Amino acid sequence: MEEQTFITRLDDRLDTAAYADVDASMNGLQVGTTNGHINTVAVAVDAAMATIDIAIERDVDLLLTHHGLSWGGIDRVTGREYAQIESLMSADIDLYVSHLPLDGHCQLGNAAGLADYIDLNPDSRTAFGELGSVTIGCRGYLDDSVATETIQSRLETLHTDDQSVQVLPFGPDSIESIAIVTGSGADWLDEAAATDVDAFITGEGKQKIYHEARELGVTVFLAGHYATETFGVRHVAEIIESWGVETTFINHPTGL
């Protein structure tokens, strides 16, 4: 596929323009030219030397990640930025980034993927996690209420290593309604409590979330920033495959 076509299609499919004002990430093509061809694509959570090195080994044309290199602009192309960009350029690999568009998208996004993973009833889901004019999470109901430990066990299967899922068990013993913001979502616990959910799932915590959860009476699962954010890029890989482009998922957990 021609690269310009590929990029335009992705921008459209992910509604990239709608997130431009609220996202510090420069979504879309971050490093590259638009005049080549895209035959193979690697997807990964993070753009970093670890994933770039694997992309080079796998000899792809483009790397698509959730976390990119430009957050409001690259001040200087030195140090880590030099090494990353130099590696991409010398291997002729372009970098396409989709941050908030891949969090909030109601079918493709990370929260949607995690909702599928824990069997939130699709018909019960609503947008959740307000950030300016967009939403970056989702909220819904299980078909039947389950014990806290059941959710915890399910979330622990996201991890291939021995990393545990941390639980702040301050909500009801039995959980039916759940709100999700993947990654670093602690700031949305208030919104979760205001919508009366039993539990809130996010990736990584902050110190303050402990007492908030305790006083709001909501159970919080900290399931891992990385672990909760592989869904989006893998969903996109499926779409890209359907366009006749070969894809590969680069898995590089951070333990965070």
As annotated, the binding site includes 66-67, 103, 225, 229
When asked if residue 160 is in the footprint of a copy of itself (CB under 8 A), the reply is no
* Closer CB to a copy of itself, 74 or 106, in the complex: 74
Contact with a copy of itself (CB under 8 A) among 1, 18, 48, 91: 48
When asked if residue 49 is in the footprint of a copy of itself (CB under 8 A), the reply is yes
Nearest C-alpha neighbor of 97 from the set 62, 72, 66: 66
What's the angle, vertex CA 98, arms to CA 89 and CA 113, rounded to 5?
Answer: 130
Residues 74-133, interacting with a copy of itself (CB under 8 A): 74-80, 82-86, 89-90
Taking contact as CB under 8 A, which single stretch among the options 102-110, 122-130, 147-155, 206-214 is the one that binds a copy of itself?
206-214
Q: Assign residue 129 a region (left: φ > 0; alpha: ψ between -120 and 50; beta: otherwise).
A: left
Antiparallel, parallel or unpaired: β 126-131 and 134-147: antiparallel
- The DSSP-derived string for 129-173 is EEETTEEEEEEEEEEEEEEHHHHHHHHHTT-SSSPPPEEEE-S-S
The torsion angles phi and psi of 73, rounded to 5 degrees, stand at 110, 145
Q: How far is the CB of 137 from a copy of itself (least distance, A)?
A: 16
Q: Are 95 and 62 in contact (CB under 8 A)?
A: yes
* Closer CB to a copy of itself, 24 or 119, in the complex: 24
Contacts of 90 (CB under 8 A, 6+ apart): none
- DSSP bridge partners of 200: 179, 220
When asked if residue 184 is in the footprint of a copy of itself (CB under 8 A), the reply is yes
The torsion angles phi and psi of 55, rounded to 5 degrees, stand at -60, -40
DSSP state of 119: T
Contact with a copy of itself (CB under 8 A) among 34, 121, 195, 251: 34
Q: How far is the CB of 191 from a copy of itself (least distance, A)?
A: 13
When asked if residue 30 is in the footprint of a copy of itself (CB under 8 A), the reply is yes
Residues 59-78, interacting with a copy of itself (CB under 8 A): 67, 69-70, 72-78
Total residues interacting with a copy of itself, rule: CB under 8 A: 53
When asked if residue 183 is in the footprint of a copy of itself (CB under 8 A), the reply is yes
Binding region for a copy of itself (CB under 8 A):
26, 28-34, 46, 48-50, 67, 69-70, 72-80, 82-86, 89-90, 166, 168, 183-184, 203-212, 214-216, 225-226, 254-256
